[in-house]
Structures are given as C-alpha cells and as structure tokens.
Chains A and B, each alone.
Chain A
Amino acid sequence: DAKTTQPTSMDCAEGRAANLPCNHSTISGNEYVYWYRQIHSQGPQYIIHGLKNNETNEMASLIITEDRKSSTLILPHATLRDTAVYYCIVRELHQGAQKLVFGQGTRLTINP
C-alpha cells in the first residue's frame, strides 16, 4: 500500500505557483520523498526527491516539514504543459533497483 495521501485534484492558473501537498505521517528515518508526474498516456517522469532538506531543481522545489510528516511540491510558474497527475512516493534510497508503490496522486489542471 502507498504510504502517502494527496488531494485528488487541484486547479491552478497559468503563470501562478502550483503548490501540491502530500502527507506521509508514517515515513521512517531512512525513507526519501519522491515526486513523479504522469502526463496523459505517457510513462511517469521524475521531478525531484529529498530526505529532510528542501530541494530545488530546474523543474520544481520540494519543501519538507521539519517532522518530515508532510511535504509540498512547488511548480513556481505553472504552464499548460504542467497539467498532469502528480505522485508523491516515499521509499528508501538503495543502491539497487527502485520498486515504487504509487498512490492515487493529484490531478493538477492548469487553466489559461
């Protein structure tokens, strides 16, 4: 079972910041928070991951609360192409293969 809960859907205006929350209250100390997104009829795309510090890359920022029980993915300037289902996943970072357990995700719609 997925260890995360996310809102089913969200809307955001184009050009505004999209803030997607995720609850992972049972996360353990060695588990990372990963975010992927899936645009319709495509495979999931990696966005960002983090352990406890906030992270930023060219796609997004990840804010993790101090107790690590929740996090927020921020798309700073959303575009229409950011419309997708966003998945928050927690797992251990092993050297080996990564089996990912997907929850239901958040369907983000960017409106013009």
Chain B
Amino acid sequence: GAVVSQHPSRVICKSGTSVKIECRSLDFQATTMFWYRQFPKKSLMLMATSNEGSKATYEQGVEKDKFLINHASLTLSTLTVTSAHPEDSSFYICSATKASQGAFFGQGTRLTVV
C-alpha cells in the first residue's frame, strides 16, 4: 500500500508555544489530505480537510485560528497548533487518498502540552 508519513511521532511542548506537525505522502500525490484528532479511548474525530493550493475546510467546532493548516505542495500538509494549552494534548493523525486504492493514514503524532 501507499505510505503516509507524519513527523514528529511524539512532541512535548510548553503551554503557550506553537507546534507544527507534518504529513507527507511519500509515493503519491495528494491534492487533499485530512486531519483527525483522537483522545484516549475515543474514536478519531475529523478536524479539517486540507486542500492543496487553497484554504482548508474545518469541521464544526474546530477553531481555524487555533489549528492552522497549510497544504503547499501535492505531497505535504502541515498542521500547526498555535498557543497550545494542556487541553490540546491529543493524538493527531493525517490521511491521504491514493486514487483507486483508498485512504492511507500516517502513524500519528502524540502531542503533550505541559
């Protein structure tokens, strides 16, 4: 299957700082990527749709100024958590779709805000 890579896999940051998470499609181009968030023992919740060359589309209740998404190329989308607070601590996962093969997920990024 296709490979989607996230970086970093784990990050700890201080409250009030910003953190950038990268999502790369390694062997295919993805005009659209998706960002999910997952709290412990809960399911994945879609946060936003990242569109190459245009603005991201956010799900209801997700603050676009808090979670900045940039999709500058066909293989890279970034999620920046701005002014992070402890309640932003979570597992963040991206996905990208390869034509005729379906959705592939990154390995996830565990963010801990202290």
Q: Which residues on A are within 8 Å of B, measured CB to CB?
A: 34, 36, 38, 41-46, 49, 87, 95-105
Contact = CB atoms under 8 A, between A and B. Distances in A.
A44 B44 contact: yes
B104 interface: yes
Contacts of A95: 99-100
Given A45-B105, A103-B43, A105-B43, 16 more contacts: A41-B91, A43-B6, A43-B93, A43-B107, A43-B108, A44-B105, A46-B103, A46-B104, A95-B100, A96-B97, A97-B31, A97-B32, A97-B97, A99-B34, A99-B49, A102-B43
22 contacts: A38-B44, A41-B108, A42-B107, A43-B4, A43-B105, A43-B107, A45-B105, A46-B104, A87-B43, A95-B99, A97-B30, A97-B96, A97-B97, A98-B95, A98-B102, A98-B103, A99-B46, A99-B49, A100-B103, A101-B46, A102-B36, A102-B44
Given A44-B93, A97-B30, A101-B46, A34 B108 contact: no
Contacts of B97: 96-98
A14 B99 CA distance: 36
Contacts of B102: 34, 46, 49, 98
B7 interface: no
Given A102-B43, A105-B43, A97 B107 contact: no
Interface in B100-114: 100, 102-108, 110
Nearest to A44: B105
A59 to B, nearest CB: 11
Contact of B1 (A41, A46, A100): A46
B94 to A, nearest CB: 8
B40 to A, nearest CB: 10
Contacts of B43: 87, 102-105
Contacts of A49: 102
Most chain B CB inside 10 Å of its own CB: which residue of A36, A96, A98, A105: A98
Contacts of A105: 43
B84 to A, nearest CB: 20
B108 A96 contact: no
